Amino acid sequence: MNTVYLSLGTNIGDREANLKLAVKLLMEMPGINVKAVSSIYETAPVGFLNQAAFLNIAVRLTTALPAAEMLSACQQIESELGRVREIRWGPRIIDLDILLYNHENIETESLIVPHERMFERAFVLVPLLEIAKEDTAQLLRAQQALQSMDLKKEGVVQWKQSGTAEEFVRSVN
């Protein structure tokens, strides 16, 4: 089994419901077992600043899917929830990014793991490290990167604490 960490973010519509529905869809996919969901963090936008604040979470899962198929599963969920790519780093109903896939370094035309900008983004590192269980070089690097950041300046605030994955999706219709 492969251990995978994802980052999920949203800033359009019912942000909390978007996150919950995306996690529910992950849980319903064959070959994917969601193990943990971080607390929800409200975060300031990055890149394109003229947009609403985001809600972000991290998810730890296990899967038999190869990395490319995991990426396809993430893109399928984005499509199902109505993701439209119009402005780079712009508003989105949902975004699922593969942060880590086992201890692997992957670089293909469509996938880079570890995620190429994760070590620069507190909105990714804070929820990731909340649920991280392994003691890998990548996670140690994430801890070091986060220690050098000012979370208030980065605009990352815990919005709502989460429990188990099942509790997280309980109120999804």
Report, as residue numbers or ranges, the catalytic residues. 83, 92, 95, 97
Alpha-helical (H) ranges within the chain are 15-28, 67-80, 122-131, 137-147, 151-154, 165-169
Range 12-15, long-range pairs (CB < 8 A, 24+ positions): 12/52, 12/91, 12/92, 12/93, 13/93, 15/54, 15/55
Q: How far is CA 51 from CA 4, 5, 9, 92, 99, in A?
A: 29, 26, 13, 10, 24
In the DSSP assignment, the letter for residue 120 is G
Query: Cα separation of 160 and 16, whole Å?
Result: 10
Q: Which residue has the tokens 């909105």?
A: 123
Decide: 6 and 33 in contact? Cβ < 8 Å.
no
